Structure 1
Amino acid sequence: MIPLIAYRDNTCAPRKCTVKRLERFGMIRIVPSFKQVPRGTLLLDPTAGVVISPADRRWVRSITALDCSWEVLEREEMARFRGRRALPFLVAANPVNFGKPFVLSSVEALAAALIILGEKGQAEEILAKVPFGIRFLEVNAEPLADYAAAGDSAGVLAAQAEYL
């Protein structure tokens, strides 16, 4: 089990928030300040220059999702994280962004990262807590399997090229 963390700035509706739902089930720790995000975490950052790969599993101590407005990505604080990783091409199954590529909810992003890192069971556990979780796995079954089978970031990018 990989510990899950979310930086949340309270910009989304709490009733729709997948991170808040995971917190209610004790599956994630929410931190209200960016300074509380551990330095050694794998930070899911859509602007990162490196894509997540199974090779990252050897150093990952936790995974952190950014459950906040996109303005936080402009902060210089982001630069202190060496473990910033972007997710490869995946399609959202959440009701707000259904069918849109690269626009995942926090729970979808965390689950995708877990699957790519070889923690499919944990990914299924967190996805079971949201109504669209199983659908996310169905819609993205092939790319997730290909990304999880890749050896490194170059392999993930090669697999991604088949879906773009």
Structure 2
Amino acid sequence: MGSLKTRLYVYCLGEDDPRKCTALKLNRFGLAKKLKRRFEIPRKAVLLNPFAEKVLTSADREAVARYGVVAVDCSWKKVEKTFSRRFKAVNRRLPLLVPANPINFGHPGMLSSLEALAATLYITGFKGEAKKLLSLYKWGETFLNLNKNLLEEYSKTRSEEDVLRVEENYF
């Protein structure tokens, strides 16, 4: 499948079924680099953290382009414990989106690692790369269809206030 222009990293904690793990599939297809230790996370990369104070906006495009994006692949059941320790990177929370993956379908915010990385790419203006990631799964197109308007709105925002306003209007 080949690589992308944007550097993607997955910090895998091995808490989920490896056969259903979207992060491992990204790694197998050469689309993301698997990180095995916390200290391997690039400090200037955008790290997707559901508890981060700052929300991802299109203004994060330069950081994504230069340093990449990190998804922490862990179980949603253990997410609070995982993120209770600080990650040394540019922590960002994704704005609310609706997952299409079969595990958490329809539960706002509970995205798979692949959906989270694709959403980040889409919001920061790398729409072609986002679609390439989502093409790995049958439900990838469903994710785009469910969130098309939201992703477009989020990708037009330049400030956190704008993102929060869009979130409020939809949710």
Taking structure 1 as the reference length, the TM-score comes to 0.95
**120-129 or 149-158, which moves further after superposition?**
149-158
Alignment counterpart, residue 140 of structure 1, candidates 147, 151, 156: 147
Aligned-residue offset at 1:155: 1.3
Alignment counterpart, residue 65 of structure 1, candidates 58, 62, 71: 71
Aligned-residue offset at 1:101: 0.3
Alignment counterpart, residue 93 of structure 1, candidates 97, 100, 103: 100
Structure 2 gap segments, 5+ residues each: none
Q: Which residue of 2 aligns with 1:39?
A: 43
CA offsets 1:71-114 (integer angstroms, 9 cap, x no match): 221114x2x32x10001110010001111100000000001000
CA offsets 1:42-61 (integer angstroms, 9 cap, x no match): 00000000100001112332
SS at 1:84 equivalent: strand
Displaced runs of 4+ in structure 1, greater than 4 A? none
CA distance, structure 2, for counterparts of residue 158 and residue 105 of structure 1:
24
Q: Does 1:118 align with 2:125?
A: yes
8 Å Cα contact 1:118/1:148 also seen in 2 = yes
Aligned-residue offset at 1:162: 0.8
Aligned-residue offset at 1:20: 0.9
CA-based RMSD of the aligned residues comes to 1.0
Taking structure 2 as the reference length, the TM-score comes to 0.91
Q: Does 1:163 align with 2:150?
A: no
SS at 1:162 equivalent: helix
In structure 1, what residue type is equivalent to 2:127? Answer: K
Mapping for residues 8-87 of structure 1, pairs under 5 Å = 8-60=12-64, 61-69=67-75, 70=79, 71-76=81-86, 78=87, 80-81=88-89, 83-87=90-94
Q: Does 1:109 align with 2:119?
A: no
CA distance, structure 2, for counterparts of residue 123 and residue 56 of structure 1:
15
In structure 2, what residue type is equivalent to 1:87? Answer: L
Task: State the identity as a percent.
Answer: 39
Aligned-residue offset at 1:159: 1.2
SS at 1:5 equivalent: strand
SS at 1:59 equivalent: helix
